[in-house]
Chains A and B, each alone.
Chain A
């Protein structure tokens, strides 16, 4: 099976712009979770989508949003970018998500740099 794929792999934006990141889960996986990883903070949970519905949400401002399509692919959007949004954004997929206490498979991440 192909693994989790994320596009783009690298992105440079300026403050105030918006960005959309994409994640394609492993075939058959219905849950997609998004994480922000920064050197000082480790991984921070953004949100989880399951069957096109946001099932769980972390403590991030409303500038961070997401959605999931019927084929389980997910997008994450960040509006009005700030310098502090520079990070590695990881998505992870699993069959049933955290509700099933299953392991997640991570994509390679999108490295976002905000100037």
Chain B
């Protein structure tokens, strides 16, 4: 059965800290891995990763995929209170998105 596991499930840090969120997967037909940020309702797209070892970067956020070890990390540096959200990881397997349960990140001022 395809599965995506995110860790930790929740994380509380202080503003300015760096955080690393993990996503591991076991799927039958990997096509891509996607990261989303969900603040109130609608998840918003962050990154899509298809190739191993290539870092995607957007401002203070970055992500990398390891297809050999079947995981991805999402890194956020110099965190701000606006980074507080649920971060979702999903894997496209056989044209279906399999979702992790999410990591709830709380940034304290």
In the complex, the answer to whether A90 meets B88 with C-beta atoms within 8 Å is no
Report A33 CB to chain B, min CB distance, Å: 8
Q: Which residues of A contact B48 (CB under 8 A)?
A: 101, 103
Q: How many interface residues does B have (CB within 8 Å)?
A: 23
- The reply on B32 being an interface residue by CB < 8 A is yes
Count the A-B residue pairs with Cβ separation under 8 angstroms: how many?
Answer: 58
Q: A106: nearest residue on chain B (CB-CB)?
A: B42
Does B44 contact A106, Cβ atoms closer than 8 Å?
yes
Interface majority SS (helix, strand, loop, mixed), chain B: strand
Interface residues on A, range: 20 to 34
A98 x B42 contact (CB < 8 A): no
CB of A101 within 8 A of CB of B96, answer: no
- Interface residues of A, Cβ cutoff 8 Å to B: 3-4, 33, 35, 40-45, 48, 55-56, 58, 88, 90, 97-99, 101, 103-109
Listed by A's residue number, 21 A-B pairs whose Cβ atoms lie within 8 Å are A3-B42, A4-B42, A41-B101, A42-B88, A42-B100, A42-B101, A43-B97, A44-B99, A45-B97, A48-B96, A56-B96, A90-B41, A90-B43, A97-B95, A98-B96, A101-B31, A104-B97, A106-B36, A106-B44, A107-B42, A109-B41
**Chain B residues close to A by CB (< 8 Å):** 31-32, 34, 36, 40-45, 48, 50, 88, 90, 92, 95-102
